[in-house]
Structure formats: structure tokens, C-alpha cells
Amino acid sequence: MPKQVFALDATATHRITVHWTNEINPVTKGLDPATVLINGTILGSLNPGEEMTVGKDFILPDNSPLHVQFFNGQPQAFRMGVPLAPVADAADVADTLPANRRKRGGCLTAWLIFNLVVIVVFTLLYFLGALGSLSGETQSSLALGYFLLGVVGVVGIVGISILLAWKKLGFYLLAGFVVANIVISVAIGQADVRTFIPLFTIGSLFVWLNRSGVWENLK
């Protein structure tokens, strides 16, 4: 789906994004509306046809007017009558930036590496625990639980490794690791208050990635 990003300020910290399509929707037998967003939040849409050509007015969070229209199939944006400059999308810029131009910050990097080491250690302990539990027939369910926790730990290791390589998939794998770890721990009766701490951790990581600007540079 084509998109165009416009800078709302000189540093392009705040952006207007317009998504549209040139392909016929097989269900509606027509073009889908164009969507207008500010910093990822939907402002509204423009219906195909006259509304896209004439344009539509939107109100920005600071109550200033935004006018979006299409000319020769391409979107144009005006704030208080002044045309906004198109800029490259953050995701596209991230693909072209060399690794040394992306700044993650020493604290965040150290935090990720520390948690990577912790997950590796616990994953090994879970696999060893699974082997130890196999010594008694009554512990077969516990052995299976430890084995599954070890497998999930591998997912967590891969997740942090991919996140360190500037991939958003790494965060999603890490979030899945946290949820799966809690579910398995509860199922085998090994859950306590500490089991749910990673939920707070993954939430804090998401906030940290966004506030530091790292999230926008992840592929």
C-alpha cells in the first residue's frame, strides 16, 4: 500500500502519514478510502473520488487545521494553508542507515545483554531440571514442564538476539516468551509472584524503546 509521510515540524519529530491504494477492492468493487494519521494515530480518512480530489480538513491535537488532498494521484498536506514537506518514512530510513548511525544507548544495550545472559542460564537449568526429573516416574509431568520452559527459553534467547540486530520481530518473540513462560509455570504449579515480574519488564522495555526513539529505527 503506497504511503507518504509529511513533517509537521522542522525536525520531523511529528509526522503526518497518508496511506492509500490504487487497487480495486474485490469485496467492495471499488477503491478503499485513504487514511490520514499523525504519529501513527488515525485522524480520519478520505473517500475515493471527489473527496480525495477536493480534499478534506482535519483538526490536529493543537487545534490547528490540516488539509489533505490528492493531486495527480499523490497526496498533499497543508497546515494552516502552508504545504508540508514530504520526508522519508522512519522505517525506510532505518533500512539505509549503517549500524553505527543507529543509537541504542549503552544502558539499553547493557540491559538487553544482561537479560540475554539470564535467560541463557535459566534455559540451561530448565533442561537440566527436565533430565533430573525423569529419574522418577511421578515427576514425568514436571519433567515435561521444565523441558517446555527450556524450549520457550530458546525463543527468548532468539528474541533478544534479533532485537539486538535491530529487528522488531525480536520484541514480539520476547513478549511471546514472557507469556508462554507464565502459562507453563502456572500449569506445572511452579508459579509465584516472581513469575509475573517479566510482564512489568516487557512493558517497561516497550516504553523504553519508544521513548528512546529506538523503536522507529527497528526494521
Among 38, 83, 87, which Cα is nearest to 58's?
Answer: 38
The pLDDT of residue 214 is: 82
What is the reported pLDDT for 212?
Answer: 78
pLDDT of residue 100: 44
The segments of the chain whose pLDDT lies below 70 read 89-105, 134-139
Rounded CA separation 93/218 (Å) = 10
Cβ 181 vs Cβ 210: under 8 Å: no
Q: What is the pTM of this model?
A: 0.52
User: What per-residue confidence (pLDDT) applies to 175?
Assistant: 94
Q: How far apart are CA 68 and CA 65, in angstroms?
A: 10
Instruction: Using alpha carbons, list the distances in angstroms from residue 176 to 116, 171, 198.
Output: 15, 9, 11
pLDDT at 93: 46
Report the pLDDT value the prediction gives residue 34, as an integer from 0 to 100.
Answer: 93
